[in-house]
Amino acid sequence: MKDIILRDAKMCAYVAGNVEHFKYLMKRLGYIFKKDAWMEVQAPGFPYYHKLAKLYRLRIVEQKCFVVGGAKYTEDLKRFHQLQDEYLLLVNNDIKSVEDLVDFINEQEEKIQQIEDRQHEIYRESSSRKRKIKTEAQYKDYDGSCLKSFFKRAQVVQGG
């Protein structure tokens, strides 16, 4: 009988996420837990209780090992995603050689430099216009034109 109880307990421990869920599953199978005792169950129709605390502790150790092992797979998964991103970059940009890759990097650096230059130009213009403000009407005009130019730049960036 003890083998059957242990088999049922192992099955429930494997499925359960926590102690309460484990107890719920065992009760669904007809087992009765002894009051004021940790993990002692009585099988339906039998007078004796059987201790399951050791079995449950073993299951917790197994789960912790799985979590530690899962951390290793998490790192592998991150590495896989990084390699996939690199592969897609090569495929989507028709990069077939090291020379193509160097050309692509140079093009991207040029684009970044153009964006930074334009950004500095916009900051200089905005700063110059802001220093020229003398009245509240000029400030409102400046504030409104900043918003309009911001939305205009946002549309250009979005391709609209």
Q: Tell me the range of 64-73, 81-90, 98-107, 127-136 where mean pLDDT is highest.
A: 98-107
Separation in Å, CA 143 to CA 46, 121, 129, 135, 137: 84, 18, 10, 12, 10
At 58-74, the pLDDT tens digits run 565 555 555 555 566 66
Looking up tokens 């990084």 gives 82
Q: Which of 35, 34, 30 is nearest to 5 (CA)?
A: 30
Beta bridge partners of 42: 32, 49
φ, ψ (nearest 5 deg) of residue 47: -85, -20
Which strands form 49-51's sheet, in the order they lie side by side?
A: 32-33, 40-42, 49-51
* Assigned token pair, 150: 């911001």
Question: Is this model's pTM higher than 0.85 or not?
Answer: no
At 3-59, the pLDDT tens digits run 787 788 878 877 777 777 878 888 888 888 888 777 788 888 888 887 776 665 656
> What pLDDT band is residue 78 in, cutting at 50, 70 and 90?
confident
SS3 (DSSP) at 58:
helix
In angstroms, the CA 150 to CA 141 distance is 14
